[in-house]
A and B are shown apart, each in its own frame.
Chain A
């Protein structure tokens, strides 16, 4: 399976990334990691990319890493639908102190707009 993972550097993105790498290694998926900037996180794309590459090297799945700029949701949908990915995985959602889940704007956009099936990790 050809899998695209969106990665913002958030804690939840790292969780989604590790789960997806584990699955890709076991199932022989071809994985592309698309890194993007989320103002809420603060890590630079380069910092995220070097950590992603380090973990991918350790796990050894077939993987490609790219950086997205511009409208992140639009970029993910264009990439997933335009390059025939079988699945788009994104982390999206946070819990308030009270425990209510809120979806992030990227997650909302891709769930509504992607033709490719979306796995939402939250």
Chain B
């Protein structure tokens, strides 16, 4: 089964793969590493301190039990995850969740005090590199249409806008 989403004709270039370390615009050393089920507690702590204003389209959920059950899904074996670490704390999380069409949906969350320093871009590129290594081909996301900063970031990484008809803008990238 395939979706009716349109994808760019050409694949994006080669993305960097985890693990890697970058220095953000605030001169902080940030480790970018693939994540799995063993990171669930760490992510739960990160999302419990998450700024409500930074939620997007209903995620992350607010209540602890709801965050837990959401993370159960997101950290499932068929999905890919990566975490940005600073001084031993998770400060950002990016995920690629498999849908029923064999495509993967991307979402990213970065703690507010780490936003605007280039971590989001590095973190997304790193997970897309992990996706290329694992043979993923098609990645999509939705973003609220007023969120110009996020749309610009996704475009910089290589996503193209494919649907603007609904409340949210849909964007796609081809990895291979």
A: which residues have CB within 8 A of B? 95-103, 105, 108
Contacts and interface: CB of A to CB of B under 8 A. Distances in A.
Given A97-B105, A99-B61, 19 more contacts: A96-B99, A96-B105, A96-B142, A97-B73, A97-B100, A98-B59, A98-B74, A98-B95, A98-B105, A98-B107, A99-B58, A100-B58, A100-B107, A100-B142, A101-B58, A102-B57, A102-B167, A105-B166, A108-B166
8 contacts: A96-B105, A98-B105, A100-B58, A100-B59, A102-B166, A102-B167, A105-B166, A108-B167
Contact of A100 (B56, B98, B165, B166): B56
B90 interface: no
B168 interface: yes
B59 A97 contact: no
Interface in B99-142: 99-100, 105, 107, 142
Contacts of A100: 56-59, 105, 107, 142
Chain A at the B interface: mostly helix, strand, loop or mixed? Answer: loop
Per DSSP, chain B at the interface is mixed
Contact of B97 (A97, A101, A105, A108): A97
Nearest to A111: B167
Nearest to B103: A97
B57 A101 contact: yes
Interface in B48-81: 56-59, 61, 70, 73-74
A98 B166 CA distance: 18
Contacts of A97: 73, 97-100, 105
| Size bracket of the B interface | 20 to 34
Contacts of B74: 98-99
B108 to A, nearest CB: 11
Interface string B139-176: 00010000000000000000000000111100000000
Nearest to B76: A97
Contact of B73 (A99, A101, A103): A99
B168 A102 contact: yes
Contacts of A101: 57-58
Contacts of A95: 58
B168 A99 contact: no
Given A97-B97, A97-B98, A98-B95, A103 B166 contact: yes
B119 to A, nearest CB: 20
B167 A99 contact: no
A71 to B, nearest CB: 15
Contacts of A103: 166-168
